[in-house]
Chain A
Amino acid sequence: MPIIELKGVEKHVLKDINLTVRDREIFCLVGPNGSGKTTLLNIIAGLTDYKGDVLLDGVNVNPLPPHKRGVGYLLQDLALFPHLTVAQNIAYGLKVRRYPEEVIKRRVNELMDALHITKLKDLYPDKLSGGEKQRVAIARALAPFQRILLLDEPTSSLDAQAAKYVRTEIRSLLKSMEITAIFVMHDLFAAEEVADRIGILYNGKIEQVSDPKDIIFHPESERVSEFVGMPNILSCDETTVLATGLIQLKTGNMTIVLPYEGTNVKKIAIPPQDIYISRTKPPGPTLNRYTGTIIGIVPVGSVVRIKLNVEGNTLVTELSREAFNEMDLSVGQRVYVIIKLRRIQYKE
């Protein structure tokens, strides 16, 4: 049964939004800045007026104010109450709902334990680091036993490594507590780590809703494809397991060696930013290095896209305009091509 349903929702940039989020699903709403992601969360939480219908658990909640909707909301700026300690912040939602003291105490301790913040319980928010604040805000949003949670870019203020760790933690917490959640993010690859399904919101319109892999490998529109930024999708003809966790793929005449646990990769997607080119032969081992020919040069905004023919495959790379001017590249030129393995996506 769908737990969150939006029917013909409109507000500012948002136009005729129809969306269904399933029970206990983690749904990631991804899109560029200004696409209306936060507005959509505010609508579901009841923090702003709107046109259309919002149904939660099959009930139309349009007339209900935020405190009667039963929707938890982790705001992007966290908004931890500065006059309350960590424990008081977490207990706030339970106190205003008049839960008995012993229930409040148990729940607060349970959440502080789960999020490893017990030692912070008597501190005020201004004494916490960014990551600690994030954890406290998550605990506070989860505390009042709400079945639906909205999270607005919950890891945006953390460094990449900490963000990845917190995302994984949030996912396992949400799953263990059987919570239906909508995550708002602007990074598709981060979304892929937590989402059961992903929706691409572009300029106030939901362009595509599908499984994370499908967004990357089967974008349904040019806008999605543009947003995903994955023009390098290569079909794999052959997979050879070289060692545990290491495979060799054959695609056209190219051979790529990758760290991967699976045994049968059908497609891979390589972001253009992970393909490097050089006019001189780069030093070091020859693994995942090739020679190719420039077959097209297209300036796009602040970058220049370069189309390459590499051993029968067409690859696209991106250079900043400064780097492009310095390298003095032209169509037909032979260049050295290096594939980095930072953000390669696989499809089995």
Chain B
Amino acid sequence: MMSLKRVTILLSFCIFSIYALLILSLFYFFSGESLLSILLSERTLYSIKLSLFAATAATIFSLIFAIPAAYGLSRYQFFGKEMIDTILELPMIVSPVALGAMVLIFFNNPVGLFLQKKGVQFVFTVYGVLLAQFITTVGIAVRLIKAVMDSIPVRYEEAARTLGASPLQSFFTVTLPLSKNGIIAASILTWAKALGEFGATITIAGSMAMKTETIPIAIFMRLSTADIEGTVILVLILVFLGLGTLYTVRVLSGRRGIYMG
């Protein structure tokens, strides 16, 4: 009979094999000639730049909202807390397309129309890409960061308060540094989710080349025209960008001793 250690390691390799097999199978349709022409095309370069920019910006916006909100939900009791806690799951319950449709419908009601007229135009613009990614990631970011803050004993903050720290000082000097690992992990996942976001983005921002076409949208466009070689190359670019960035962040974080304990 296999030991628990062997079973668990074997299963983790199984999962790795499934993904590795999928990536390797791309090379069946891989063409070296197409690689350079597609990679260096203005359209692809724009998609890469837009994807990286939008995922990074959406992650930053999500964290700006998620960190304080997660702290509030973790530390205080207030009316409506359960309701907020439940609605955070919305991006996971409804599909991204449905979420995008909800945003589109909102911008077509009088309030939405007024906001677009007087404020920022979201529908079929780059701002729409940012909004789509922000909406699909912020709830998850709050959920992840709240779990981290729940695990930090309140006693540290109480100790800080009796030593003379204001609530804000204790948050910045105790809670935030102690949540650092979790926040980095949450940022990585948020960024990865934003980079691969497709359904809400195409619904809100459309699929306009050189305007709102992120890599996932470009992949969909190539596939819909049966351009398999082009699809393979764009998928590889997305895989390389996504996994490469995540791996680099993990390695750098580890080296700098961000992960404690």
0/1 per residue, A54-69, Cβ < 8 Å to B? 0000000000011100
The answer to whether A83 touches B165 (Cβ under 8 A) is: no
With A83-B178, A92-B173: A67-B158 Cβ-Cβ less than 8 Å: no
B50, chain A: closest CB distance, angstroms: 38
Interface size range on B against A: 20 to 34
Residue contact B260 to A67, C-beta cutoff 8 Å: no
Least distance between A253 CB and chain B CB atoms (Å):
56
Encoded as 1 (CB less than 8 Å from any B CB) or 0, chain A from 37 to 71 comes to 00000000111000000000000000001110001
What residue in chain A is nearest B169 (Cβ atoms)? A96
Q: What 0/1 readout, one digit per residue, does chain B (230-260) give for beta carbons within 8 Å of chain A?
A: 0000000000000000000000000000001
Residues from chain B with a CB closer than 8 A to the CB of A97 are: 164
Interface contact B159-A67, CB-CB below 8 Å: no
Residues of B within 8 A of A66 (CB): 158, 161-162
Interface: A93 (CB within 8 A):
yes
- A71 CB contacts on chain B under 8 angstroms: 162
Q: Which residue of B lies closest to A42 (CB)?
A: B158
Given A81-B174, A83-B178, A83-B260, A67-B155 contact (CB < 8 Å): no
Tell whether, in the assembled complex, residue A73 and residue B162 are in contact, meaning their CB atoms are under 8 Å apart.
yes
Residue of A nearest to B158 (CB): A47
A72: chain B residues within 8 A (beta carbon): 162-163
Q: Which of B159, B165, B178 sits near A75, CB closer than 8 Å? A: B159
B119 part of interface (Cβ distance < 8 Å): no
Smallest CB gap from A140: residue in B: B163
- The answer to whether B178 and A93 touch across the interface, beta carbons within 8 angstroms, is no
Is B110 an interface residue when CB atoms closer than 8 A count as contact? no
CB distance from A41 to the nearest CB of B (A): 10
Q: Are B159 and A81 in contact (CB under 8 A)?
A: yes
Identity of the chain B residue whose Cβ is nearest the Cβ of A83 in the assembled complex: B177
Within 8 Å by CB of A45, from B162, B177, B178, B260, lies B162
Contacts of A126 in B (CB 8 A): 261
Contacts of B173 in A (CB 8 A): 92, 96
Q: Which of B161, B162, B164 lies at the interface centre, i.e. has the most chain A CB atoms within 10 A of its CB?
A: B162
B65 contacts A by Cβ under 8 Å = no
Q: Are A81 and B156 in contact (CB under 8 A)?
A: yes
Q: Is A144 an interface residue (CB 8 A)?
A: yes
Q: In the complex, which of the residues A45, A77, A92, A143 contacts B160, with contact meaning CB atoms closer than 8 Å?
A: A92
Contacts of A259 in B (CB 8 A): none
B residues 179-224 touching A (CB-CB < 8 Å):
none
CA distance A47 to B159 in the complex (A): 10
Interface residues of A in 78-98 (CB under 8 A from B): 79, 81-83, 92-93, 96-97
Shortest distance between the CB of A64 and any CB in chain B (Å): 11
Contact of A79 among B153, B164, B169, B177 (CB under 8 A): B153
For residues 206 through 238 of chain A, which have their beta carbon under 8 Å from a beta carbon of chain B?
none
Give the residues in chain A near B169, CB-CB below 8 Å: 67, 96
Asked if B166 lies at the interface with its beta carbon under 8 angstroms from chain A, I say yes
Given the interface contacts A92-B173, A96-B169, A96-B173, does A79 sit within 8 Å of B163 by beta carbon?
Answer: no
Closest 7 CB pairs of A and B: A93-B163, A73-B162, A66-B161, A79-B159, A79-B155, A96-B165, A97-B164
Q: List 6 A-B contacts (CB under 8 A).
A: A66-B161, A75-B155, A92-B165, A96-B163, A96-B165, A140-B163
Residues of A whose CB lies within 8 Å of any CB of B are 45-47, 65-67, 71-73, 75, 77, 79, 81-83, 92-93, 96-97, 126, 140-141, 143-144
Q: A65-B166, A79-B158, A141-B163 are in contact. List 9 more A-B contacts (CB 8 A).
A: A47-B161, A67-B163, A67-B164, A67-B165, A71-B162, A72-B162, A79-B159, A143-B163, A144-B163
